[in-house]
Copies of this chain bind each other. A is one copy, B any other.
Amino acid sequence: MTTLTRLPKRLMLGHPLQTSMMGDTLLPKKLALPVFCSDPLSSNAYATEEILLMLSLGGLALLSMTPWVAAAVVTLLVIVVLSYRQTCYAYPDGGGAYAVSRENLGRTAALVAASALMVDYVLTVAVSVAAGVANVVAAFPALAPHVVLMSAGLVVALAVVNLRGVKESGTVFAVPTYGFVLCVLAMTGFGIWRFLGGDAPVAESATIGIRAEQSVAGLLLVAVVLRAFASGCTALTGVEAVSNGVPNFKQPKSRNAAATLGIMGVLTIGMFVGITALALATHVHVAADAAQLVGAPAGYSQRTVIAQLAAAVFGNDSAGFYAVQAFTAAILVLAANTAFNGFPILASILGEDGFLPRQFARRGDRLVFSNGIVILALLAVALIWAFDASPTRLIQLYIIGVFVSFTLSQAGMVRHWRTLIRLTDRASEIGRMRRAQGINALGAATTALVLVIVLVTKFTHGAWLVVIAMPLVYALMTGIGRHYQAVRDELRPGPAGVLLPSRIHAVVLVSTVNTPALRAIAYARATRPTTLTAVTVRTNVHETDQLGRDWLDRDIPVPLTILDSSFRDVTRPVIEHIRHLRTQGPRDVVAVFVPEYVVGHWWEQLLHNQTALRLKARLIFLPGVMVTNVPYQLGSAAAAEHRHQEEGAATDAGPVTR
C-alpha cells in the first residue's frame, strides 16, 4: 500500500490489533445490550404505529382490537426470548440460526437459514436507517429532499465505525440506546402521572376521524387483524443477535448472554406496552393513506406516533419532545449496527465453510470481518437508493427472513435436545432438557405459524421480492460450495503422491541484453536444468539483430533461439515453442524464466512489463510448466520496499520449526 492510501486508512480505522488483543474486545453486559439489542429495542419506535396503521384500514372502530393484537405480540416475544435463552446456553460458541440448523437439520436447512439471515441483515440496515432519517425529517421538514443522501451517508458512517472494531462500537452506541429507553419510560411515566392528576394528555390527531378503506367484516376482519399482528411482529426483529454474539460476551459467556436477552425482553415489553397504552389513551389516530382522514385541518401532515405521544405528554416543542425525537432517531440509525455485528460474523462462518468466497473468512486490520462490513454497507445503500429511503415501502420486505430463521433455529434446538436426551442417563438432566425442548418446540411452532401469517398478509405488498431474493442467495451459496468441493476433490492427491519430474528444460525469455536478462540467465543456470536456452521473438528486425550482436559480444554461454512472429505478437510463438519442448518427454517440465523490472509506482508499472504480463497470463494454462519471475528492483522499487518495511516495523513473527 502506498503512503497515499495508508494514511487516511490509519486515521479512519486506527492501528491494527494483534490476535492476542481479542480478549480485550469482549463485551460486558452493559455494553453488550446496546451493541446487540439496539435493533429489538428500537423497533418500539414503529411497532405500535404499524399495528395502528393496519387496524385503521378498517376505520376507527377497529382500534378496539389494539390491546388484543399487542398482547399477542407480547406473548410471542416472551416465547421467542425464552426459546433463545436455551440457545445461548446450548451454543456458547455462537448459536446463530445457521450454526444450529447446520448441526441439527443438515446443510440445506442451514443454507436456507443463512440466506434468510443475510437478506434480513441487509433489510435491517436499510429499514432502521431509513426510519431514523424519516424521524429526523419529521422534526426538521427542510431536510426532506435529502433523505436518500442522508441515509446512505449514515450507512457509510456505521460501516466506518464498525471497521474500527467492536469494542469502540459498544461505547459509541451505549448513550443513544440507554437514552432512548429512559426517554420512552419517562414519557410513559409522566403520561400516567398526568392521567392520575386529572390533566389527561390528548394527541393532536384525537379529533380526526378515519374512514374505513372498505367495510370490514367476517373473514376480511380476520385478515386485517392478522395483518396488524404481522406488522406488530417487527418488534421481534433482531432478537437472535444475542445468541449469534455469545462469543463476544465476557465470561461466563452463556449466562451473560442469556441475562442480556432477558433484560432486553423486559425492556422491550415494558416500552411496547407503555407506548401502545399511551397511544390508545391519548387517542392517537393515524391512517396508512392520508385520504382516509376525516375532518383534518388544512395542511395537516401526519407525524409518527411516538412524536405525537411526546408532543401530547411533554408539550410540542418542549425539551422533552426534542429529547424523545432525538433519541428515537439515534437508536433507529444505530439499530442498523446489530446487522453490522451479525452479518460479517455469519459471512465469515459461511466463508470458512466454503459457501462464500474465502476472503470473507479473513479478519481485517481491526479484528473485524472487513469484507462482510463493506458488502453489507453496499447492499444496504443500494436498497435505500432503490426504495427512495421510504421506511413504509422497505418495511413490507422485512421480517420474513427473521421468521424463517427463527423457525429453523428453534426446530434445530428441538432436534438438539432430542439427541442430548438420548445420550444422557441422569434423570434430573433429562427433566431439565425436556423442559428446554418443550420451550423450543413451542417457539418453533409459534414462529412457524407467524411466518405463514406474515407471508400470506404481506406477499402482495412487496414481500414477494424477498421470496425471490432468498432462493437466489441460496443458489449462489450452494454454487460456491459445489465449486469449492469440486476443486478440493480434484486437488486431493493420490496415495502415490506426485511423480518427480525427470528432466527440466529451462527457457529464459529475453528481448535485450540488460542486467535483468543477465540475472535471469544466471539464476536459471544456478538451478542446473537439463537443457537451458534463451528465447526471443523477432518483432522488430533491428532490435533482434542488436540482441544477436550483443549476445555474441558478451559470449553468453547459453544458446539463443529466435522465434519468428507473423502477427507481431510475442505470446503465441513462445507458447508454441514451449508446448513443443514439453512433447519431448511426458515427465519433462519446462521452467520459464521471465526477467522483470520492479518499479515503485503504479504509473511506472504501466510503462513496463506489459508484454511479460500478457505472456504469464497465458503460460499458467500450459500443463507441466512453471513460471519463474526474476525481479530486478530499480531505485524507485527499493524506496517503495523501504516504505513497506517501515509500515511493518511493529511485526513480531517468529518461525517455529518442527
Q: State whether A518 touches B493 (Cβ < 8 A).
A: yes
Contact of A498 among B362, B522, B561, B596 (CB under 8 A): B522
Q: State whether A487 touches B653 (Cβ < 8 A).
A: no
Q: Is the interface of A mostly helix, strand, loop or mixed?
A: mixed
Does A270 sit at the interface, judged by CB under 8 A?
A: no
Q: Which residue of B lies closest to A506 (CB)?
A: B527
Q: Which residues of B contact A593 (CB under 8 A)?
A: 626
Q: State whether A487 touches B658 (Cβ < 8 A).
A: no
Cα separation A652 to B635 with both chains bound (whole Å): 41
**Given that A610-B358, A634-B487 are contacting pairs, would A640 and B621 also be in contact in the complex, using a CB cutoff of 8 Å?**
yes
Contact of A562 among B20, B515, B563, B658 (CB under 8 A): B658
**Given that A498-B515, A527-B527, A652-B566 are contacting pairs, would A596 and B621 also be in contact in the complex, using a CB cutoff of 8 Å?**
no
Cα separation A622 to B640 with both chains bound (whole Å): 11
Cα separation A656 to B537 with both chains bound (whole Å): 10
Q: Which residue of B lies closest to A503 (CB)?
A: B526
**Given that A610-B359, A648-B572 are contacting pairs, would A633 and B621 also be in contact in the complex, using a CB cutoff of 8 Å?**
yes
Copies in the complex: 2
Stretch at the interface among A99-107, A185-193, A238-246, A600-608: A600-608
Q: In the assembled complex, how far is the CB of residue A15 from the closest CB belonging to chain B, in whole angstroms?
A: 11
Cα separation A630 to B565 with both chains bound (whole Å): 27
Contact of A525 among B500, B514, B559 (CB under 8 A): B500
Q: Which residues of B contact A518 (CB under 8 A)?
A: 493, 497-498
Q: State whether B626 touches A620 (Cβ < 8 A).
A: no
Residues of chain A from 467 to 505 with CB closer than 8 A to chain B in the complex: 480, 483-484, 487-488, 490-493, 497-501, 504
Cα separation A576 to B644 with both chains bound (whole Å): 12
Q: Which residues of B contact A575 (CB under 8 A)?
A: 648
- Total chain A interface residues with beta-carbon distance under 8 A: 102
Q: Which residues of B contact A607 (CB under 8 A)?
A: 357-358, 480, 483-484
Cα separation A113 to B568 with both chains bound (whole Å): 29
Q: State whether A657 touches B498 (Cβ < 8 A).
A: no
**Given that A498-B518, A515-B493 are contacting pairs, would A629 and B620 also be in contact in the complex, using a CB cutoff of 8 Å?**
yes
Q: State whether B567 touches A19 (Cβ < 8 A).
A: yes
Residues of chain A from 408 to 430 with CB closer than 8 A to chain B in the complex: none
**Given that A19-B566, A566-B19 are contacting pairs, would A620 and B648 also be in contact in the complex, using a CB cutoff of 8 Å?**
no
Q: Which residues of B contact A573 (CB under 8 A)?
A: 651, 653, 655
Q: State whether A627 touches B629 (Cβ < 8 A).
A: yes
Does A623 sit at the interface, judged by CB under 8 A?
A: yes
Does A16 sit at the interface, judged by CB under 8 A?
A: yes
Q: Which residues of B contact A387 (CB under 8 A)?
A: none
Q: Which residues of B contact A483 (CB under 8 A)?
A: 604, 607
Q: In the assembled complex, how far is the CB of residue A6 from the closest CB belonging to chain B, in whole angstroms?
A: 14
Cα separation A490 to B516 with both chains bound (whole Å): 10
Q: Which residue of B lies closest to A580 (CB)?
A: B655
Residue interface bits A630-655, CB-to-B below 8 A is 1, else 0: 11111101101100100010011111
Does A560 sit at the interface, judged by CB under 8 A?
A: yes
**Given that A493-B518, A525-B500, A621-B633 are contacting pairs, would A565 and B653 also be in contact in the complex, using a CB cutoff of 8 Å?**
yes
Cα separation A637 to B487 with both chains bound (whole Å): 12
CB-defined A-B contacts under 8 Å, sample of 20:
A19-B566, A20-B566, A359-B610, A484-B607, A490-B634, A490-B635, A491-B632, A526-B589, A562-B656, A565-B653, A566-B653, A567-B651, A573-B653, A573-B655, A591-B628, A598-B621, A621-B637, A623-B633, A627-B629, A628-B628
Q: Apart from A483-B607, A561-B656, what 7 extra A-B contacts exist at CB < 8 Å? A: A498-B518, A504-B527, A567-B651, A591-B628, A620-B633, A628-B628, A629-B629
Q: Which residues of A are interface residues toward B (Cβ below 8 A)?
A: 16, 18-20, 357-359, 362-363, 365, 480, 483-484, 487-488, 490-493, 497-501, 504, 513-516, 518-519, 521-523, 525-529, 538, 548, 554, 559-568, 572-573, 575-577, 580, 589, 591, 593, 596-599, 604, 606-608, 610, 616, 618-623, 625-635, 637-638, 640-641, 644, 648, 651-658
Please give me the 6 A-B residue pairs with the lowest Cβ-Cβ distance, nearest first.
A573-B653, A491-B514, A620-B631, A621-B641, A498-B518, A628-B628
